[in-house]
A = this chain, B = another copy of it.
Amino acid sequence: MIAATVKVIAFDADDTLWVNEPLFRKAEERFCSLMEDFLPTEQSERLLYEMEMRNLGIYGYGIKPFTLSLIEAAIEFSNGKVPNTIIQELIRQGKQMLEEPVTVIDGIEKVLQDLSKKYRLVVATKGDLLDQERKLIKSGLSHYFHHIEVMSDKTEQHYKRLIQHLDSTPEEFLMIGNSLKSDIVPVLNIGAYAIHVPFHTTWIHEMVDEEVIHPNFKSIHKATELYS
C-alpha cells in the first residue's frame, strides 16, 4: 500500500483525523434558519457560499473567517435590517464551534499507532494555527506526530516548501487526506505520493471534477485499510 521510498507521512487534519465539515454545515443551516425572515433558505445557502469565496483570499480558512462572513452576509442579505440579536447569535455560535469537543474519526488511532512505528508522522493542515493546535491536543493524538504544519494554503508551492522544511524529498513524502483538491492533486503534481480517504461531507470548494489516475495515487474507503 505504501511505497518503499516513503519516510514521512503527512496527515490532513479536518475530516481526515477528526470530524470538521459537519460542524460548518450545521452552522450554515442555523444561519439560513435565522435568516428565513429575510431570504428563502436556498438563496441564503447560495449567496453565503459566494460571500465565503469572495472573502477567502483576504480572510483565509477557519472558524473566525467563517463567522465574519456570516455577519457580513446577515447584514447584506437583510438589506441592513438584521437585528443585533442575530449577529450576537452568530458570534456565540462561532465561539461554540471553537470550543467544540473533537470527534476522532473511527479507526484513526489504530492507524497512527501502527504507522508511527515505521514512519515520521506530521499533521499538514490549512486553517487557523491556534485552532488546529487546540484540536490536535483535544484529539489525544498529538503524541503520534512529530509536529503540526499549518499551511496558509495547500498548493504545489506550499507542499514543496513543506517537504524542504522537513528536510525530505518528494519520493519520501506521502500525503493522506480527504480532499482531492488540497491533499492529493498538488502532491502528485510535485512527484510525491498521495492516498485519498474520502469523508462523507466535502465542502464544494474542495471538490474536483476529474477522476484522479496516477501511479503515485491510491484511493481507499477507510483509514483502517492503511495497515490491513
Hey, which bits of chain A sit against chain B, CB under 8 A? 58-60, 64-65, 67-68, 71-72, 75, 78, 80-85, 87-88, 91, 94-95, 98-99, 128-131, 133, 147, 150-153, 161, 165
Contact = CB atoms under 8 A, between A and B. Distances in A.
A81 B80 contact: no
B75 A64 contact: no
Contacts of A65: 64
Contacts of A147: 161, 165
Contact of A130 (B71, B133, B152): B152
Please provide the 4 A-B residue pairs with the shortest distance between their CB atoms, ordered closest to farther: A60-B130, A80-B84, A130-B152, A64-B64
Nearest to A80: B84
Given A71-B71, A71-B91, A75-B87, 18 more contacts: A58-B95, A59-B98, A60-B130, A60-B131, A68-B68, A68-B91, A75-B84, A78-B84, A80-B84, A80-B85, A81-B84, A87-B87, A128-B129, A129-B150, A129-B151, A133-B152, A147-B161, A147-B165
Contact of A129 (B68, B75, B98, B152): B152
24 contacts: A58-B98, A58-B99, A59-B98, A60-B129, A60-B130, A60-B131, A64-B64, A64-B65, A67-B68, A68-B91, A68-B94, A71-B91, A72-B91, A75-B88, A78-B84, A80-B88, A81-B84, A128-B129, A129-B129, A129-B150, A129-B151, A129-B152, A130-B153, A147-B165
